[in-house]
């Protein structure tokens, strides 16, 4: 049986980098817990403070194997900067590097292939205003058409243009994506997007006529877009609770 190399970088990196590693590793474990993963595929990345370097998962590990120490440090081109036995999936980092390249505020990028985000992204109607959770995503939601596997460098510019300044994206036939100034904010934004898609799929499965949120309420939510589930309502309060949950589930992520 293959055993993973045991690494411990806690005393070899700065305190800020270690905390970011712990947060990102916890995010991977929580995604596994909520069953949003896709075997060894999909990625979450986080920018190291004051640099253009990023942390991302080692290719070949399941999300419940990710730890703070086995996250891989890369540059925008996906070149590995650590002395590590692990590799990354360069094709998988294409989407993340495209976003980190143009969004200075996107310190964390989460891209997942959940069945519900794929389902809603693949509907002509897209995400509909059918729930309170959809209100958190709709004010800052964009779409990107499917162009095949994300290995074409020409696609990066179109992805960047489609994302613009939004914080939530549905990739048609592909999945969901969120960005945030912290791991916690990006996680909470994905949670809301995922829940909105789950609820929409459940409503549509009934075959009954849904009651949409009235337009005046939607318009008011749009006016409040800058404060919807960010800062103290998302990353600063909800994320510490999620971090505690990750420790209860399995504290090995913080090694």
**Length of the chain, please?**
255
Per-residue pLDDT tens over the stretch 142-162: 999 888 676 566 788 889 999
Q: Pairing state of beta strands 175-180 and 108-112?
A: antiparallel
Per-residue pLDDT tens over the stretch 242-254: 999 999 999 999 9
3 within domain boundaries: no
216 within domain boundaries: yes
Mean pLDDT of the chain: 88
Q: Pairing state of beta strands 141-144 and 168-171?
A: parallel
207 Ramachandran zone, left/alpha/beta (phi>0; psi -120 to 50): left
Q: 73 near 63, Cβ under 8 Å?
A: no
* Cα-Cα end-to-end distance for the chain: 22
Instruction: For residue 114, give its domain range.
Output: 15-244
Domain count, the chain: 1
Q: 44 pairs with which residues across the strands?
A: 110
Say what percent of the chain tops pLDDT 70: 91
CATH of the domain at 189: 3.40.225.10
- pLDDT at position 9 is 80
Higher pLDDT among residues 235 and 6, named by residue = 6
């Amino acid at each position: 049986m293959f055993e993973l190399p045991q690494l411990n970088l806690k005393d070899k990196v700065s305190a800020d980098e270690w905390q970011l590693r712990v947060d990102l590793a916890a995010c991977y474990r929580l995604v596994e817990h909520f069953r949003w993963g896709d075997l060894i595929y999909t990625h979450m990345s986080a920018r190291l403070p004051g640099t253009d370097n990023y942390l991302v998962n080692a290719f070949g590990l399941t999300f419940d194997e990710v730890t703070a120490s086995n996250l891989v440090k890369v540059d925008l081109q996906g070149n590995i900067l650590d002395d590590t036995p692990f590799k990354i999936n360069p094709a998988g980092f294409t989407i993340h590097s495209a976003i980190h390249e143009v969004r200075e505020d996107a310190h964390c990028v989460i891209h997942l292939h959940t069945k519900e985000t794929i389902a809603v992204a693949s509907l002509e109607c897209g995400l509909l205003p059918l729930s309170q959770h959809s209100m958190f995503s709709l004010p800052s939601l964009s779409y990107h058409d499917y162009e095949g596997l994300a290995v074409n460098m020409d696609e990066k510019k179109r992805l960047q243009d489609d994302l613009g300044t939004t914080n939530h994206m549905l990739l048609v036939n592909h999945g969901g994506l969120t960005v945030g100034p912290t791991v916690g904010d990006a996680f909470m934004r994905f949670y809301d997007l995922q829940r909105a898609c789950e609820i929409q799929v459940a409503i549509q499965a009934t075959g009954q006529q849904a009651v949409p949120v009235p337009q005046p309420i939607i318009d008011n939510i749009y006016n409040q877009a800058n404060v919807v589930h960010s800062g103290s309502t998302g990353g600063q309060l909800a994320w510490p609770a999620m971090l505690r949950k990750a420790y209860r589930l399995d504290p090995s992520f913080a090694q």
